[in-house]
Chains A and B, each alone.
Chain A
Amino acid sequence: MTDAKKQQGDRLSEATLIERAKLGDAEAFESLYNLHKRRVYSLCLRMTANTAAAEDLTQEAFLQLFRKIGTFRGESAFSTWLHRMAVNVVLMQLRKKGLSVVPLEDTMESEDEAPRKEPGADDPRLAGSIDRMQLQKSIEALPPGYRMIFLLHDVEGYEHNEIAEMVGCSIGNSKSQLHKARMKLREFLKTSRAEKATKP
């Protein structure tokens, strides 16, 4: 079976599950949960860096989804709809904790915010030497707004138009945030590598 046909088959299967879930089919709910639980949980975990909090948020995101499943009309992909809820749940949680979640549209390009590039510095490339654990730690160190966009694009594979719909920003803003997130990560990774190199 070709990839395209398999994808079409998966979409039809998911559409069937959604219709059955609308009728209250318990197995359909569980199947939909199993199809999407990893991506939702991973997103929550990387945003909170806490397994208990991530599981609570995962539960809340799915409950909100299932309560509203009767209103799903298929205008967007089901996974996008689900992830939008997960994003909202995560952002609400961060705001409750008093963490600064800067509205994405307000994060303007500024000299103070953008990672500084040392002109003429002799810096070896990162390619081929990125440590996975160090990358995860660096992602956790990102500001929440950057982290969200980076996770949705580079980790989860969403396109900028999908991200813009999920988080409620413009496509241009999504691209800008992603670029800043990557630049920050580059800075963190190079710093970390330099620190390791100087240790005895």
Chain B
Amino acid sequence: MTCEEFERVLPELGSGHSNELEEHLKSCLACSDLVGDLNAISQQARLLQASEEPSPWVWKSIEASLQQEGLIRQPQQERARTLVPLLGWKLRWLVPLAAAFLVVFGVLMHERRGVQPELAKRGTPPVGVVTADLMPSEDQQLLNTVAARMPSMRDAYEANLRSVNAYIRDAEQSANSNPNDEVAQQYLMNAYEQKAMVYEMALDRSLP
């Protein structure tokens, strides 16, 4: 066997060699060195396997995308915090509108049952605006309703409303600072939902 013939079959060689190939390797230093070099390269390359790791943000980005696309289902205890499906960032303008709808829905339910028509006349709260002032007027009206029906619960509901209003302020600030951040949008949506839940509970419990 010549060196050229040996090199032609070299790509096909596995771990075992035929007798003819073994004989050529024994007699030809150049081909023996070549095989040795190629094996050394292969062995050294194996040491390079998976020695690096991506930064943590890679998983965070993947997770955010999977949530946005609805491929991840929240665990049971987290589902209670998300009453409506998450919206993609392209639909973020619906966030304050959806929250206003939830609040108005609660108010309309209250009116339908013939309690305190003043609330219905007031209309919706300013969209997406929760100031640092003491209670928005709608919240005050709700507290007045609760005080009229369940005096002992008024303070608890006031504390809940203050807490959720602070949550909304923080979430709005974060969403306004990072308009393209889906996580910030999600937090804002959660904040509005929390407030809607407080209204819903207050109105349900205050009904005769």
Among A29, A54, A128, A182, max chain B CB count under 10 A is at A182
Which residues of chain A in 92-140 are interfacial with respect to chain B, using CB atoms and an 8 Å cutoff?
A: 117, 119-120, 123, 125-128, 130, 132, 135-136, 139
* A67 with B71, Cβ < 8 A, contacts A41-B52, A42-B51 known: yes
A interface majority secondary structure: helix
A/B interface sample: 28 pairs, CB < 8 A: A26-B66, A29-B72, A37-B54, A38-B53, A39-B49, A41-B50, A42-B50, A42-B52, A54-B54, A55-B55, A59-B62, A67-B71, A117-B7, A125-B33, A125-B40, A127-B37, A128-B40, A130-B41, A132-B44, A135-B48, A139-B45, A154-B41, A156-B49, A156-B50, A157-B49, A182-B41, A182-B42, A183-B38
Residues of A in contact with B, size category: 35 or more
Q: Give the interface of B toward A (CB within 8 A).
A: 7, 10-12, 30, 33-34, 36-42, 44-55, 57-59, 61-63, 65-66, 69, 71-75
A178–B11 contact, CB under 8 A? Answer: yes
B61–A59 contact, CB under 8 A? Answer: yes
A146 within 8 A of B: no
A155–B48 contact, CB under 8 A? Answer: yes
What are the 5 closest A-B residue pairs judged by CB atoms, nearest first? A24-B73, A179-B11, A38-B50, A154-B45, A127-B40
A66–B62 contact, CB under 8 A? Answer: yes
Shortest beta-carbon distance from B44 to chain A in Å: 5
Shortest beta-carbon distance from A134 to chain B in Å: 10
**Residues on B with beta carbons closer than 8 Å to the beta carbon of A130:** 40-41, 44
Which residues of chain A in 142-171 are interfacial with respect to chain B, using CB atoms and an 8 Å cutoff?
A: 150, 154-157
**Residues on B with beta carbons closer than 8 Å to the beta carbon of A34:** 59
A26–B72 contact, CB under 8 A? Answer: yes
**Residues on B with beta carbons closer than 8 Å to the beta carbon of A136:** 48
**Residues on A with beta carbons closer than 8 Å to the beta carbon of B71:** 24, 29, 66-67
A176–B11 contact, CB under 8 A? Answer: yes
**Residues on B with beta carbons closer than 8 Å to the beta carbon of A63:** 62, 65-66
User: In whole angstroms, how far apart are the Cα atoms of A139 and B51 in the complex?
Assistant: 15
* A62 with B62, Cβ < 8 A, contacts A55-B54, A123-B33, A127-B36 known: yes
Residue in contact with B58 in the complex, picked from A37, A117, A132, A155, CB distance below 8 Å:
A37
**Residues on A with beta carbons closer than 8 Å to the beta carbon of B58:** 37, 41, 55, 58-59
Q: A62-B62, A135-B45 are in contact. List 17 more A-B contacts (CB 8 A).
A: A23-B73, A25-B72, A37-B53, A38-B51, A39-B50, A42-B51, A55-B55, A66-B66, A117-B7, A123-B33, A130-B44, A155-B48, A156-B50, A157-B49, A179-B10, A185-B41, A189-B41
A155–B36 contact, CB under 8 A? Answer: no
A126–B48 contact, CB under 8 A? Answer: no
Shortest beta-carbon distance from A180 to chain B in Å: 8
Q: Please name the residue on chain B nearest to A135 by beta carbon.
A: B44
* A45 with B41, Cβ < 8 A, contacts A25-B73, A33-B59, A67-B69 known: no
**Residues on A with beta carbons closer than 8 Å to the beta carbon of B33:** 123, 125
B44–A26 contact, CB under 8 A? Answer: no
Q: Please name the residue on chain B nearest to A37 by beta carbon.
A: B54
Interface string of A29-57 (1 = CB under 8 A from B): 11001100111011001100000001100
User: In whole angstroms, how far apart are the Cα atoms of A42 and B54 in the complex?
Assistant: 9
User: In whole angstroms, how far apart are the Cα atoms of A34 and B53 in the complex?
Assistant: 10
Shortest beta-carbon distance from A173 to chain B in Å: 10
Shortest beta-carbon distance from A39 to chain B in Å: 5
**Residues on B with beta carbons closer than 8 Å to the beta carbon of A59:** 58, 61-62
User: In whole angstroms, how far apart are the Cα atoms of A157 and B30 in the complex?
Assistant: 28
**Residues on A with beta carbons closer than 8 Å to the beta carbon of B52:** 38, 41-42, 45
Q: Please name the residue on chain A nearest to B74 by beta carbon.
A: A26
